Amino acid sequence: MEAYLDNSATTKVSDSVKNLVVKVMTEDYGNPSSLHMKGVEAEKYIKESREIIAKLLKIEPKEIIYTSGGTESNNLALIGGAMANKRAGNHIITSSIEHASVLATMKYLEDLGFQVTYLPVDESGHVSMEALKEAMTPETILVSIMHVNNEIGAIEPVEEISKVIKSINPNVVFHVDAIQSFGKLVLHPKKMGVDMMSVSGHKIHGPKGSGFLYVSDKVKIKPVIFGGGQMKGMRSGTENVPAIAGIGLAAKEAYENFEDKMTKMVELKDYFIDRVTAIENVTVNSKKGMESAPHIISVSFNGVRSEVMLHSLEDKQIYVSSGSACSSNKPSVSATLKGIGLSNDEIDSTVRFSLCYDTTKEELDYAVDTVAGMIELLRKFTKRR
């Protein structure tokens, strides 16, 4: 049996999305900038995807900039937002548990002379509103806080954060990394008080290399890629039409029968947490129910290094991550797990299981039973070393 439980790293592309992407690549392959019919047909896919996404988010189609994925969306939002607003100030606020694509970009902006404040989080992974208020200064121009943490699934109170920011200075731009929340939570950025929002396609059964950035028409940002002026000059380069068509369809499918999907995922998450915590010396760092994201479960297996657990499960065709997939191949300490107060030993023993709406109870049973059957041997092996 195989159990793919690494859906926060990437998801399997749905059959309908795959078929559409292949059709666009092999039949409707024109350059959308071309004036002939092949170009017009390609342009149609871009327009249709815009309309689908805009309807889901309750925004205007013109407020969508297509990108190559979450990392580029975050870079464009932060660098473009900072550079466009630097006359108003040079201070940026983020949290200490952001994804690497945000934290690394913040380091780059610091090198350019911007000052960055990194907000601490509590043991559940939530940003303190008091710390946010204290961090705000007359120089603050941009705040970036992720919606769902990619390692433990903590859901940040985005609407509350926006109210705090805007009550102090309504001109401060608020960016949200929604890469782990799009398709898992209902998102209406205008209602939530969000000015920019990053989304990635391969987290929602769309193709890799697809993503978009929502930018409110009231917000100024500068491009970071220059060339032929596509996307109204905000993201030059021939549009990746197959990926754009794919992310549009994947977004539509993600929100079909949405409540049923989320109810099922939450039930599976809670079931897995109950079963895995029955194993001795196992701690779960994610909350049950909708206190955290429906698809992410962070588990610390005391006495077993995460890499050992990961590869032992892989031998049984069970696929998981040690922390974020974007950083799990590097020997670095997780800022998220450190931020919520875990010890180095606990961090070193933490594995992330992540679900999708196709995950089955049988897969979860197989994973838990496998862990239960091997954990004492792995602990003895770790002690001997």
Asked whether residue 353 falls in the same domain as residue 227, the answer is no
Task: Please state whether the predicted TM-score (pTM) of the whole model is above 0.85.
Answer: yes
Could you say which of 233, 254, 275 is where a domain stops?
A: 254
Averaged over 264-284, what is the pLDDT?
97
Asked whether residue 235 falls in the same domain as residue 269, the answer is no
Asked whether residue 57 falls in the same domain as residue 138, the answer is yes
Asked whether residue 247 falls in the same domain as residue 347, the answer is no
Asked whether residue 199 falls in the same domain as residue 328, the answer is no
Q: What is the pLDDT of residue 7?
A: 98
- Which positions are catalytic? 326
Residues facing 353 on adjacent strands: 297
343: CB partners within 8 A, 6+ apart: none
pLDDT digits (tens, 9 = 90+) for 139-163: 999 999 999 999 999 999 999 999 9
Domain of 217 in residue numbering reads as 15-254
Whether the per-residue pLDDT at 331 is higher than 90: the answer is: no
DSSP string over 237-293: S---HHHHHHHHHHHHHHTTTHHHHHHHHHHHHHHHHHHHTTSTTEEE-S-SGGGB-
* Number of domains observed in the structure of the chain: 2
pLDDT band at 326 (very low <50, low <70, confident <90, very high): low
pLDDT digits (tens, 9 = 90+) for 215-265: 999 999 999 999 988 988 889 898 999 999 999 999 999 999 999 999 999
Give the residue ranges of DSSP H helices in the chain.
15-26, 37-57, 70-84, 100-111, 129-135, 158-168, 189-192, 241-254, 258-276, 306-314, 335-339, 344-348, 361-384
Look up the CATH number of the domain holding residue 84: 3.40.640.10
Whether the per-residue pLDDT at 319 is higher than 80: the answer is: yes
Asked whether residue 102 falls in the same domain as residue 210, the answer is yes
Residue 142 and residue 172 in contact, taking contact as beta carbons nearer than 8 Å: yes
> How deeply is 80 buried, as exposed, middle or buried, from its count of CB atoms within 10 A (0-12, 13-18, 19+)?
buried
Asked whether residue 104 falls in the same domain as residue 139, the answer is yes
Distance CA 176, CA 125 (A): 16
DSSP string over 163-199: HHHHHH-TTSEEEEE-TTTBTTB---HHHHT-SEEEE
CA 370 to chain centre: 29
Look up the CATH number of the domain holding residue 305: 3.90.1150.10
Asked whether residue 313 falls in the same domain as residue 222, the answer is no
